[in-house]
A and B are shown apart, each in its own frame.
Chain A
Amino acid sequence: MISSELTRARGLATLPRMSRGGRRMVRWALPLAALGIAMLSGCVNVTAPDKPIVIELNVNIRQEVIYRLAADAENTVDKNKDIF
């Protein structure tokens, strides 16, 4: 079995300066990512709930109109038996 190992083990290859720089990057990256996600999810949210709402309203309005007209239409059908 061959195992390879560094002859002189070192600590993590980061310097205090680098990690500080990294934190600074994270400080910028986090709000940017949040903004990106917010924009993405915003786009999806605008389109998705729109359609079912419109369809439901349409059905409700039609049914309400039909119920309102029912008596009048019945009268019309009864009074025009020549064409019904």
Chain B
Amino acid sequence: MNRVSKIIAAAALAGTLVSAPAFAQRDPAYEAARAAGQVGEKMDGYLGIVGSANGALQAVVSDVNIKRRALYSQRAQAASPPVTLEEYALTAGCIAIARTAPGEKYQAPDGSWQTRTSAPPLRDSRCPALQQKNAQ
């Protein structure tokens, strides 16, 4: 009985692992907004609207941010010892900014929006050192 439940649990786990990459692609509206520089990566780990907001853009940003927040919350609690949601979000923000592609927008430590170039982004001094695999 115990073995059976273990097998079921393992199968469920494998299922989530396999199914995860199946939808691991940005929504076309989100992808387009990123490429157009309408949205950018903020320092706090969330997406921000760079220029003027409109309903459709706000919906895209809110959707992404709600999902990010849920993810941050889950990972923050899973850390040992657990960390706060903000701490995890800030760390993820460091990485999300590092991963921006040239032409995309990100928020510099002074709060201004910057366009990513091929040079390393301006990041918070507390951010961990960049791993050289920025693209994507």
Residues B95 and A66 in contact, CB atoms below 8 Å apart:
no
Q: Which of B13-48 contact A (CB under 8 A)?
A: 20, 23-27
Residues B26 and A81 in contact, CB atoms below 8 Å apart:
yes
User: Which of A76, A77, A82 is the one whose CB lies under 8 Å from B25?
Assistant: A82
Count of inter-chain pairs, beta carbons less than 8 A: 66
Residues B27 and A62 in contact, CB atoms below 8 Å apart:
no
Question: Is A80 located at the chain interface by the 8 A CB criterion?
Answer: yes
User: Which of A63, A65, A67, A74 is the one whose CB lies under 8 Å from B95?
Assistant: A74
Q: What is the bound-complex CA distance between A70 and B126, given in angstroms?
A: 11
In angstroms, how far is the closest chain B Cβ from the Cβ of A17?
72
Q: What is the bound-complex CA distance between A69 and B126, given in angstroms?
A: 12
Question: Is B53 located at the chain interface by the 8 A CB criterion?
Answer: no
Residues of B in contact, count (CB < 8 Å)? 27
Interface size class of A (residues with CB under 8 A): 20 to 34
Residues A72 and B128 in contact, CB atoms below 8 Å apart:
no
In angstroms, how far is the closest chain B Cβ from the Cβ of A8?
81
Q: What is the bound-complex CA distance between A70 and B26, given in angstroms?
A: 23
Contact with B along A53-64 (1 / 0, CB 8 A): 000000100110
Question: Is B49 located at the chain interface by the 8 A CB criterion?
Answer: no
Given contacts A69-B88, A82-B27, contact A77 B126 (CB under 8 A): no
Q: What is the bound-complex CA distance between A77 and B100, given in angstroms?
A: 12
Q: What is the bound-complex CA distance between A59 and B126, given in angstroms?
A: 8
In angstroms, how far is the closest chain A Cβ from the Cβ of B34?
10
The chain B residues found within 8 Å of chain A, CB to CB, are 20, 23-27, 64, 67-68, 71, 75, 79, 83, 87-88, 90-92, 94-96, 99, 126-128, 131, 136
The chain A residues found within 8 Å of chain B, CB to CB, are 59, 62-63, 65-70, 72-74, 76-77, 79-84
